[in-house]
Amino acid sequence: MTATKLRLGTRQSPLAVAQAEETRDRLCAAHGWSEDEVELVKVRASGDKIQDRPLADIGGKALWTRELDIWLAEGKIDAAVHSMKDVETLRPDSLTIAAILPREDVRDVLIGAPSIRAIPQGGRVGTSAPRRAAQMLHHRPDCEIVSFRGNVATRLAKLAAGEADVTLLAAAGLNRTDRTSTGTPLDADLWLPAPAQGAIGVECNSADQETLHLLAAIDDAPSRVTVMAERALLEGLGGTCHSPIAVLSRLEGDKLMMRAAIFSSDGLDRIEDSLTAPYSDLSQFRQMGRDLLARAPEAVARLFEGG
């Protein structure tokens, strides 16, 4: 029987398992292991248990990480695989994001209509993401937002059942669950993605030098640069799960170009800024977040209180 080299914790959803399998495959390729030397340990996260309310109303992003954090602390797993857009901006010092895998497509995909303009007048848009809701209302104030929670298959089933006319999903999630032909990808320059969208992160205990070393072999430097800069922006904004935040980053040599926008919940107010700065200096991206918030009217600023 082959000895286990690493125990990877993951949520049980099909997308989460696909992300853990990708992590396992990259570890095996990097270290010359066989597949059965990496054990996938599945946990049912709080966020997966509660599907009838928006995430922001039931505890925010911590609902995706809580159980895996506990298992890391208790030594039940060696590392945890996360969608980085679901990981709280401020993490315990006891944990380290040891690897960011090569980032997938950052775009959102519109499903149910060929374009934003083609959504029927007064169309129902199924989403529980404040960013998607606010950005849609900014472009199409006539539309109605309908709360949609659940994994990729659940939301597609709700759309098929007529609970909404259109919905929005991450291209990365569709690609990783073999639904690449579903919907219309939206131009990321016109429809800004979520911070860290499309990125898989692998976290372990900060004191676990052996696991840190093993995970370093699959860390993708360009993806880490963009994800950490976007997380620095989030830190400067101090946002919560109620905060509509959209951002697009691109590497240009040793610099990173970032465009970011924050919105009021009804989409009427949009504050946008851009910055090109050395990616080694995350403080500039934190300051960009603070500057955006300083310019925000009350309808936007109140969505960031307590962040």
Domain region containing 133: 108-185
What rounded mean pLDDT belongs to the chain? 92
Please report the pLDDT score of residue 305 as a whole number. Answer: 73
Q: Is the pLDDT of residue 307 over 50?
A: no
Please report the pLDDT score of residue 1 as a whole number. Answer: 47
Q: Is the pLDDT of residue 188 over 90?
A: yes
Residue 257 and residue 198 in contact, taking contact as beta carbons nearer than 8 Å = no
Query: In terms of Cα–Cα distance, which of 153, 156, 202 is closest to 8?
Result: 202
Question: Is residue 65 very low, low, confident or very high in pLDDT (cuts 50, 70, 90)?
Answer: confident
Residues 119 and 239 in one domain: no
Please report the pLDDT score of residue 58 as a whole number. Answer: 45
Over residues 261-290, the pLDDT tens digits come to 999 999 999 999 999 999 999 999 999 999
Residue 192 within a domain? no
Radius of gyration of the chain from its Cα atoms, rounded to whole angstroms: 19
Answer yes or no: 48 catalytic: no
Indicate the number of domains in the chain: 3
Domain containing 298 — which CATH number? 3.30.160.40
Residues 62 and 179 in one domain: no
Residues 72-94: what's their mean pLDDT?
A: 95
Give Cα 67 distance to the centre of its chain: 18
Residue 143 within a domain? yes
Helices 209-216, 14-31: axis angle to 10 degrees equals 90
Q: What is the DSSP letter of 101?
A: P
Residues 113 and 91 in one domain: no
User: Which helix H or strand E contains 301, and what residues bound it?
Assistant: helix 298-301
Residue 244 within a domain? yes
In whole angstroms, what is the distance from residue 288 CA to residue 236 CA?
Answer: 7
The Cβ of residue 182 has, within 10 Å, a number of other Cβ atoms equal to 15
Residues 12 and 91 in one domain: yes
Domain containing 44 — which CATH number? 3.40.190.10
Residue 283 within a domain? yes
Please report the pLDDT score of residue 159 as a whole number. Answer: 95
Please report the pLDDT score of residue 96 as a whole number. Answer: 98
Please report the pLDDT score of residue 240 as a whole number. Answer: 76
Residues 90 and 148 in one domain: no
Residue 160 within a domain? yes
Residue 94 within a domain? yes
Q: Which residues contact 1 (CB under 8 A, 6 or more apart)?
A: none
In whole angstroms, what is the distance from residue 113 CA to residue 121 CA?
Answer: 12
In whole angstroms, what is the distance from residue 113 CA to residue 108 CA?
Answer: 13
Residues 132 and 82 in one domain: no
Over residues 195-205, the pLDDT tens digits come to 999 999 999 99
In whole angstroms, what is the distance from residue 69 CA to residue 89 CA?
Answer: 14
Residue 194 within a domain? no
Say which of 69, 86, 208, 269 is annotated catalytic.
Answer: 86
Residues 116 and 263 in one domain: no
